[in-house]
């Protein structure tokens, strides 16, 4: 099904056409093979970077494309419809570039062209084994020692662990609570940074996720981003943008599931007619199409607030919550439409359903999104 989009510029139309071409040529043919082998498609990320699709929302002076967030999110949606692991990798990498781009010094930002061009890949180290949602209580500690910080602790659920070229490490440099947290940018080759074995995940098997141990790792003090104590503010600001990325991924995945289910339902014959003509299935697909359109609209509305420089964190939480719940519902329903065929790997909908689940968890669980939204309502 063709999505009818309203885009702000002719350049945006060209970017989405480029994204579609690359997604069809570089992503779709590889997804099943890489997922089955649990292999990270590093060269695909380089290809996207060299095509300019990894730096879309960042300034041209740093190697980005200076595109509105609403355009970047629609590129993510297209990528997710072909291979969610790659779209999520783009979203995580974009998130990983945010602290440096928004809070880094001019000297630190000299790293950005290689990051935004895809030659270097980033990871975002916030969660810990005992503190995922409670980020303000993180325990990884960095102690100043001359011209370095000595970092000790363990980070958990780190996307790109072991394949990233740099890590944003949120660590405690001061007092308990959010004011004692700082952000360091660490190179992968830093002695004492030890990625652990990859987790065996339900979906997104080609996306490596693991703990990363910091065993007295020495990170140069000039890699401190935003000053001591600024880490929590940086982390929360980055997550507002990251939640929109995950919402866009969810929309793309849900759209792919719907498209496949509709195609199947048009062709599958029972009792002498296409099963899409039976009201039970036809209405189910109609509801799915409506929910996807609503999720897309909510996501882009939040992005336009961001582009206008207006507060958008609550709307980002709503978009992430709604879009990922829609993706879970639609992918599950797509399996139901295919019946027994939906439960086997000959069709992609079983993979879509497994992949959708993680979107309700990453970048803040959907329970956390509800907490964020309800607290804002209480303040009003």
Residue range 26-48: average pLDDT?
A: 96
Contacts by 272-280 with C-beta closer than 8 Å and gap 24+? 275/337
* Residue 136 near residue 103 (C-beta atoms within 8 A): no
pLDDT on residue 133: 76
Name the residue with tokens 């652990």: 196
Residue 213, strand partner residues: 154, 194
Average pLDDT over every residue of 3-13: 93
pLDDT digits (tens, 9 = 90+) for 354-363: 999 999 999 9
Cβ atoms of 3 and 255 closer than 8 Å:
yes
Per the annotation, the verdict on 199 as an active-site residue is no
Is the pLDDT score of 40 beyond 90? yes
pLDDT value of residue 135? 84
Confidence bin at 341 (pLDDT 50/70/90): very high
Q: Report the distance separating Cα 187 and Cα 169, nearest Å.
A: 10
* Distances 330 to 5, 194, 257 between C-alpha atoms, Å: 21, 39, 7
Residue ranges and CATH numbers for the domains of the chain are 10-117 (1.10.540.10), 122-232 (2.40.110.10), 233-378 (1.20.140.10)
What is residue 117's three-state secondary structure? coil
Mean pLDDT on 229-256? 96
- Residue of 164, 163, 211 lying closest to 186 (CA atoms): 164
Helix (H, G, I), strand (E, B) or coil at 146: coil
Q: Facing residues of 269 across strands?
A: 274
- pLDDT for 176-186, tens place per residue? 999 999 999 99
Contact predicate 173/151, CB 8 Å: no
What's the confidence (pLDDT) of residue 380? 64
Calculated CA dihedral for residues 85, 246, 61, 233, nearest 10 degrees: -130
| Whole-angstrom distance, CA of residue 163 vs CA of residue 161 | 6
User: From residue 36, how far is each of 25, 160, 253, 254 by CA, in Å?
Assistant: 19, 18, 18, 21
Alpha helices (runs of H) in 149-273, residue ranges in sequence order: 231-267
| Alpha helices, DSSP H, located in the chain | 10-22, 31-37, 42-50, 69-82, 84-103, 112-116, 231-267, 279-307, 313-338, 349-359, 366-379
Is the pLDDT at 286 greater than 90? The verdict is yes
Tell me the longest C-alpha to C-alpha distance in the chain.
79
Q: Which of 70, 128, 315, 363 is catalytic?
A: 363
Q: What is the mean pLDDT of residues 125-147?
A: 91
Given the structure tokens 């702000």, which residue do they identify?
8
pLDDT of residue 303: 98
Determine the average pLDDT of the residues in 256-272.
97
Over residues 51-73, the pLDDT tens digits come to: 999 999 999 999 999 999 999 99
| Whole-number average pLDDT of the chain | 96
In the predicted model, what is the mean pLDDT of residues 91-103? Answer: 95
Over 80: is that where the pLDDT of 152 sits?
A: yes
CA 310 to CA 158: how far, in whole Å? 30
Task: Quote the pLDDT of residue 130.
Answer: 87
Query: pLDDT band for position 353 (50/70/90)?
Result: very high
Report the percent of the chain where pLDDT is more than 90.
96
Give residue 136's pLDDT: 87
Strand-pair partners of 220: 148
What would the two tokens of residue 235 be? 């982390």
The three-state secondary structure class of 256 is: helix
The β-bridge partners of 153 are 214
Examine the pLDDT at 313 and tell me if it is beyond 80.
yes
pTM of the complete model:
0.95
pLDDT of 131 reads 75
Report the pLDDT value the prediction gives residue 181, as an integer from 0 to 100.
96
Q: What is the pLDDT of residue 208?
A: 96
Q: What are phi and psi of 100, to 5 degrees?
A: -65, -45
- What's the pLDDT tens digit per position in 225-240? 999 999 999 999 999 9
């Amino acid at each position: 099904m063709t999505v009818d989009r309203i885009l702000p510029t002719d350049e945006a139309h060209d970017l989405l056409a480029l994204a579609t071409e690359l997604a069809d040529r570089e992503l779709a043919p590889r997804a099943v093979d890489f997922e089955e082998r649990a292999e990270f498609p590093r060269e695909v990320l380089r290809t996207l970077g060299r095509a300019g699709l990894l730096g879309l929302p960042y300034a041209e002076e740093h190697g980005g494309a200076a595109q509105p967030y609403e355009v970047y999110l629609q590129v993510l949606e297209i990528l997710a419809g072909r291979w969610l692991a790659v779209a999520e990798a783009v979203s995580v990498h974009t998130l990983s570039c945010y602290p440096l781009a928004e809070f880094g010094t001019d000297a630190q930002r000299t790293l950005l062209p290689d990051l935004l061009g895809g030659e270097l890949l980033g990871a975002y180290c916030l969660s810990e084994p005992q503190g995922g949602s409670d980020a303000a209580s993180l325990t990884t500690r960095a102690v100043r020692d001359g011209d370095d910080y000595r970092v000790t602790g363990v980070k958990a659920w780190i996307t790109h662990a072991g394949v990233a070229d740099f890590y944003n490490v949120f660590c405690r440099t001061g007092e308990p609570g959010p004011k004692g947290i700082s952000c360091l940018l660490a190179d992968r080759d830093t002695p004492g940074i030890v990625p652990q074995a990859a987790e065996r995940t339900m979906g997104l098997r080609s996306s490596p996720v693991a703990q990363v141990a910091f065993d007295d790792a020495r990170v140069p003090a000039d890699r401190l981003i935003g000053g001591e104590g600024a880490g929590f503010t940086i982390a929360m600001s980055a997550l507002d943008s990251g939640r929109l990325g995950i919402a866009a991924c969810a929309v793309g995945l849900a759209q792919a599931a719907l498209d496949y289910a509709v195609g199947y339902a048009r062709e599958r014959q029972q009792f002498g007619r296409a099963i899409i003509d039976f009201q039970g299935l036809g209405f189910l697909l109609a509801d799915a199409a409506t929910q996807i359109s609503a999720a897309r609209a909510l996501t882009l509305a939040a992005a336009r607030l961001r582009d206008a420089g207006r507060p958008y964190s609550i709307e980002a939480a709503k978009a992430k919550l709604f879009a990922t719940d829609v993706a879970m519902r639609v992918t599950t329903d797509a399996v139901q439409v295919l019946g027994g065929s939906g439960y086997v790997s000959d069709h992609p909908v079983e993979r879509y359903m497994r992949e959708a689940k993680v979107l309700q968890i990453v970048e803040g669980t959907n329970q956390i999104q509800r907490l964020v939204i309800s607290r804002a309502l209480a303040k009003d």
